[in-house]
Structure 1
Amino acid sequence: MASDHAAAPLLTGPQAGDILATALATTEIELESWTVDSVNARPGAETSVGYDVVAGGERIYLIASTVELTDEQRAAAKAVRLASDDGEVHVWRHPADPYLPGLADACIPETLAPRLSAATGRSITIESLDMMVMRPMRRAVLRVRTVAEDGRRTWYVKVVRPERAEAMLARHRMCDLAPLALDAGDGIVVVQEADGVPMTRALHRPDGSDPAQIDPQMLLAAMDRLPEEATALDARPPVPDRVSQYARMAIDEGLPKERVEALEHRIGAVLASAPSHPTVATHGDLHAANIYLDDAAAPSRIEAVIDLDTLGPGRRIDDCACMLAHMMVLPQLDAEGYRGVPPVAERLLQVFGERFGLEELRARVSANILSLVAGAEDDGVAAAWLGTAESVLEDSSGT
């Protein structure tokens, strides 16, 4: 099976049922029903699909992936290897994972609580544990509400490959806007809930009222507070540098080839003539959900910046473009709740554009939206986001 985004149609189509049934048959369990829950495809790497499955009278969660595994990894995850004319696929049952040895403990309150207690130095009881993000072999994020002798707290449990845990902890230690992060072993990093409220709450108004006013200079000042020592970390290519990969993914998802390629060409043409930018510390995935404000109604300062996994050297304009792209697609997720976001995004665009160059900023915003198009699971949303990516560039002709 192809180890790229082209494998997704096979792992999500009717043949997926045969793959799951064959894998389960190796343990004499009969497949009763299945539905696709999530698709995770990385440019140039594996494609993994998660399934809600009923088998043998039990509801379970299975992962099928085009990843190549060693015998040791296969045995550790109890993964079944299936080979056919289409290639090779591995199937295993969550919460086992061939690259995330800490995932099984992180998903079970009885095994997570001792790890939290050891990491925090408190006797902790878990009230609730919820999975928020699950990307097989890459990372998982769970929200855990706890009780200890000093009160109730919410923590975010991040499970990564063990060799990447120290880098995540180091990023939190070097950033004064980052919440407390602690090592719980085996790639489990626990992060205390940040003070304040996420910026998304300041933008979301389900009652139809206007969102909070977001001061662009406040955001730029927070970006400039990112630690200079982060420029010595490994660089991660920003989305615009990988726009051709995301274009291919969008086409593979069924988006109109001519429109996607035209958009890719226009983005590339603008960026090819763009000036160079100084290397600074960048967040790498900066958007409203990762910024915590002091108040949702009338914010005056930034309390915290979270999800620092991608902190490293880059261009400030790319953090701005990422933030704007995520804001511009919010109305397609909740038209009424985010109805007031476009004017806020436009103001940020103009201020950021004055600092970094409006035409280039629009191209980078469009590239980031295209990357979101490539990962959208809803065809209608993907089509709407493609239109947004196009309109960002079309507007540049009149500015």
Structure 2
Amino acid sequence: MSCSKVGGSCCRRAVTLTVDDFGFVKTNTDEGNGIKRFTWTNANTKSSAQVITYGAIITSLKFPDKDGNVEDIVFGFDSVEEYQSVKNRYYGATIGRVANRIAKGKMTLDGKDYTLATNNGANHLHGGIQGFDKVVWDSYVRGNKVFLTYHSKDMEEGYPGDLIATVSFELTKNNEFLVDYKAVVTKPSPVNLTNHSYFNLAGHGKGSEELYKHQFTVNADRITEVDSTGIPTGNLPPVSGTVFDLRVPKTLGDVINKVPNAKGYDHNFCVTKASSQELAFVAKAHHPPSGRVMEVYSNQPGVQFYTGNFLPETDVSQGKGAVYKKHGAFCFETQIYPDAINHPNFPKVVLYPGEEYHHSTVFKFLIEN
């Protein structure tokens, strides 16, 4: 396995960036692609992060606890073959062209009806059968930042127009992991990118026992109401007086079994923010036993809070030497509201030629004793 410094003067920075090989995958053609892995290391704080070009996936995030013990806090695998297997449930992946669900895989855009690939029962989920999580992205490096690009062709998974997506990643000296998405299109098309990392601040293999000890805060006074299949009804009920009121911290173990008609949280929260384009505080997770804290900031109007309800209970998945089971991790997926293309009262999801989609998210890691 080859490894080299990239970014020129990175060795003089608090955070260093290296690249190595992470296997080889076949594409839809007869050609194959070598997969690159990028590793940021913050020697001052003993923190690190890794991203691969397959699926623009975050494979590892390691941070110390209050006693200096380092743990990997995201689900993932040790090989690209495992990321291509059925046991991968979007672990760490970049999601597109549209994150979350689109009802019945149907949409009407400028008077024309479109049928998208359906891969979640009758619904379209996370970009379809082969979304952005299952393709090889091109890459380049600028300074300490890695840029991954993907060209989604006209009618791929049913979406109109060519789309060029760029996602950049960077670990800063202040233990902030920055993810920035941009996209342009040649025809009007819905665009809603996100990252689907599964977090457990106690450590990726610590399971539900430790996840239930997490305290969660979400800066939202409304949610998107959903039906039994997870499709929004169009209603945006207030969270006040419900189990969805996470405006002050709640310990997950105290509330997860009170979520109505569900096995836990899997809901879009409507972020309370002053400006539609500026970064705002979205959510916070705190694991008191370790002291680890993750704060999320974004310019997106929503965040999907998911508590791993559909992870296996008995037929367990294994990754990076750990067992992954139901309620073993949580996700904060910053996004435009689900199924926005079919709800005129939801935030704008259609991107037009000449416009640029821009989505910024900051995952900030701290220690609280």
The alignment's TM-score, normalised by the length of structure 1, stands at 0.24
**Structure with the largest fraction of strand:** 2
The alignment's TM-score, normalised by the length of structure 2, stands at 0.26
Higher Rg of the two aligned structures: 1
**Structure with the largest fraction of helix:** 1
